[in-house]
Amino acid sequence: MRFSVLGDFSVTIAGRDVTPRSAKLRSMLALLTIRNGQTTTVDSIIMELWNGRPPDRAIGTVHTYVYELRKALSAPDDEPGESVLVTVPHGYCLDLSGADFDLRRFEELAARGSALLSEGARTRSPDKLEPASAHLTEALRLWRGEPLANVAFGEQVRSHVAWLEEQHKQVLYMHLHAEMKLERYSSLIGEVKLLIERHPFHEELYEILMTALSRSGRRLEALNVYHEMRERLNNELGLDPGPSLQRLQQALIAGGHEIDRRDPQVRPERIAPKDRLAQLPPDVPDFLGRCEILRDIVRRITATDGTAAPIVCIHGAPGMGKSATAIHVANRVSGEFPDGQIYIDLKRKEPAMEFEKDVFAEILRTLGAADEELPRTLPGLVGVFRALTRQRRILLVLDGAEPHMEITGFLPLGCPTIVTSTRPLHGLAGATMVQLDTFTPEEGIGLLERIVGKDRVDAERETALCLINQVDTLPLTIRFLGERLSFSPRSSIEQLRKSIFRCEADICLSQLERIGLDLFSRLESAYRQLSPKEQTAFLALSCLRANSFSLTEAAQAFSCGDTEAGIILTSLVDAGLVKVLDDEGGQTYRLPRFTGLYLVERLARRSDQVGRCLPLTAI
């Protein structure tokens, strides 16, 4: 019996592929596999499979899945799979002690390679370094691609996959260090250059490459690598190389060839994901723009000046790329937080205190707290969290927080925190508020080039620019356009424009969700968070016959005074449904293009259409 998780998830018995075809069965078996030898409770399985929204009779469905999995895993001399998938109190346990398991083999090879590398580095013995390199190389060859690539992730599997990817990176670096100590510079240089193409922002790869080039007598090439790296960081992230790379550059300028490098300290022992907090979602590979904002967030979130733990709130209208920005920054600075990075997606649930309590209880278990030590209230859980993180370098990302959520009342939480929210979270002591706006047309073109290629955009640059302006340079919508073009490599940009955005009067945002643009649901969420009075006022904006309007015109539409209208408009601006324009003649307001389209569609769904106002024109 063979179980493989280092690539597509697969299970074979006597050469026969028995990997479940059903997505739910495959996800459940993958969860049991990565928790090999540990109890997985029925509640954990339900949470993993249905993300907290279980169907009726979920427990019965899990029992049915267990029966199906046991049938698939049964051997000729086995009661249907019961020796492998074992029933234990409160749940199930997958026993792979007699199976060929690629992850276990990877860990064994990595542990041997790590031990030999440490001993070889200490004694400078090729007799240890040669087998160290061989073990590490064999461990890396077990990887066939992204782990569990064909599995739909829940929170537990996602956390474990992040941990696996971190282990792979550590073993890769140990392998490179072993090759360096064996002075195999020629092969090492080629290998690292290929790795840099796949991981263009991993600074340690550049450090290894520069060192190998220098020790091969190619100092000028090594310096050129530094300059290219610095230019790429500045242009794409608005950042400078880290201190280690800067010191290496100065040593090379001074004429040094022997560059000191500390031996790797990583020993990939079997560590459960709950002991290593690496929960960030993967970085956005084609992230673009926001250079000044990125630089400011990185500087603030990594500050170690002894003051209170920094908190940065990234806010903006739906579709501005708040989550992408937060995840990008968090991945960028993850090395500054060796004790872990915690990511909590607050958007995937209806905000409820029980959900937030469950989230913090799970975090505390991850940090080592036993169930009997967990307080029953959210304030108690937050207090324990603050105590456990006080002496640790941990980064917390809260994605999709809103002012009415219980958890926002406890911010800051005592560790560096990045929060995303549609509305600015007022009243956070010492917090930095960062507002995201739409892209410039040039940034929009740049993102489209990243997704579909520069040549394809250059062939229809004017049409692309027209289309980007037509969608208000909204990052979410530009990404949607790029994905649609990627799905249809033979279609032109003009064909895409005509098929979807030719006539705005015919655009229905809710229908666009079926082909990947989920803007309606995001705007709907922002609308539902308004008070009843604010909802009525927002719908009343349909009485206005222009896309920009003054405070007085809004007050007339709202049937109230200027003061009350100003308060309502401020809330609508905070919700991202209205924009403020500072013109020479005074402050005016504007309905963004897609907000206007949403407003028309929302009105069409209401039976009481706010005094029979006509839909907006000239949106």
Q: Of 406, 435, 464, which residue constitutes the final position of a domain?
A: 435
Residue 556, domain member (yes or no): yes
Q: Provide mean pLDDT across the span 320-347.
A: 86
d(CA 189, CA 46): 48
Residue 263, domain member (yes or no): no
Q: Let me know whether 94 and 112 are in one domain.
A: no
Q: What is the CATH number of the domain that holds 527?
A: 1.10.10.10
Q: What is the pLDDT of residue 348?
A: 59
Q: Return the structure tokens found at 50.
A: 């249905």
Residues 6+ apart with CB under 8 A from 576: 316, 317, 318, 320, 422, 423, 526
Q: Let me know whether 326 and 313 are in one domain.
A: yes
Q: Let me know whether 353 and 387 are in one domain.
A: yes
Q: What is the pLDDT of residue 77?
A: 55
| pLDDT tens digit sequence for 92-114 | 999 898 899 999 999 999 989 98
Q: Provide mean pLDDT across the span 394-419.
A: 80
d(CA 66, CA 93): 11
Q: What is the pLDDT of residue 593?
A: 85
**Which 3 state secondary structure label does DSSP give 13?**
strand
Q: Let me know whether 569 and 551 are in one domain.
A: yes
d(CA 336, CA 88): 40
Comparison of pLDDT for 283 and 9, the residue scoring more = 9
Q: Let me know whether 109 and 230 are in one domain.
A: yes
Residue 514, domain member (yes or no): no
Q: Of 253, 286, 309, which residue constitutes the final position of a domain?
A: 253
d(CA 360, CA 366): 10
Residue 268 has pLDDT above 50, yes or no: no
Q: How much is the mean pLDDT over the chain?
A: 82
Q: Let me know whether 306 and 411 are in one domain.
A: yes
Q: Let me know whether 587 and 453 are in one domain.
A: no
d(CA 237, CA 424): 24
Q: Let me know whether 281 and 422 are in one domain.
A: yes
- Identify any residues that bridge with 109 across adjacent strands, giving them in sequence order: none
Of residues 529, 578, 581, 574, the one with CA closest to residue 558: 578
Residue 586, domain member (yes or no): yes
Q: How many domains are contained in the chain?
A: 5
Residue with the two structure tokens 């300028």: 253
Q: Let me know whether 314 and 425 are in one domain.
A: yes
| pLDDT tens digit sequence for 560-577 | 998 999 999 999 999 889
Burial class (CB in 10 A: 0-12, 13-18, 19+), 536: middle
Alpha-carbon distances, residue 524 vs 68, 501, 527 (angstroms): 40, 21, 5
Phi, psi of 290 (to 5 degrees): 60, 30
Residue 612, domain member (yes or no): no
- Long-range pairs for 452-457: beta carbons < 8 A, 24 or more residues apart: 452/482, 452/485, 452/486, 456/485, 456/493, 457/493
Comparison of pLDDT for 258 and 285, the residue scoring more = 285
Q: What is the CATH number of the domain that holds 118?
A: 1.25.40.10
* Alpha helix (H) residue ranges in 488-591: 493-500, 509-512, 519-528, 532-540, 551-558, 562-574
Q: Return the structure tokens found at 460.
A: 């229809």
Q: Let me know whether 426 and 488 are in one domain.
A: no
d(CA 393, CA 414): 11
Residue 416, domain member (yes or no): yes
Domain containing 124 equals 103-253
Q: Provide mean pLDDT across the span 205-228.
A: 91
Of residues 172, 227, 238, 228, the one with CA closest to residue 205: 172
Which amino acid would we find at residue 458? D
Residue 270, domain member (yes or no): no
| pLDDT tens digit sequence for 373-383 | 678 787 788 87
Least confident of 130-139, 252-261, 447-456: 252-261
Altogether, the residues listed in the chain come to a count of: 619
| pLDDT tens digit sequence for 273-318 | 444 567 788 887 778 878 889 889 998 888 866 567 889 999 999 9
Q: Let me know whether 330 and 453 are in one domain.
A: no
Residue 157, domain member (yes or no): yes
Least confident of 2-6, 154-158, 215-219, 503-507: 503-507
Q: Of 70, 102, 134, which residue constitutes the final position of a domain?
A: 102
Residue 265 has pLDDT above 60, yes or no: no
- Identify any residues that bridge with 2 across adjacent strands, giving them in sequence order: 12, 100
Q: Provide mean pLDDT across the span 493-518.
A: 77
Residue 180 has pLDDT above 60, yes or no: yes
Q: What is the pLDDT of residue 603?
A: 81
Residue 419 has pLDDT above 60, yes or no: yes
Model's pTM, two decimal places?
0.56
Least confident of 47-51, 408-412, 430-434, 482-486: 408-412
Dihedral sign of CA atoms 228, 233, 238, 241 in order: negative
Q: Let me know whether 423 and 282 are in one domain.
A: yes
Q: What is the pLDDT of residue 434?
A: 93
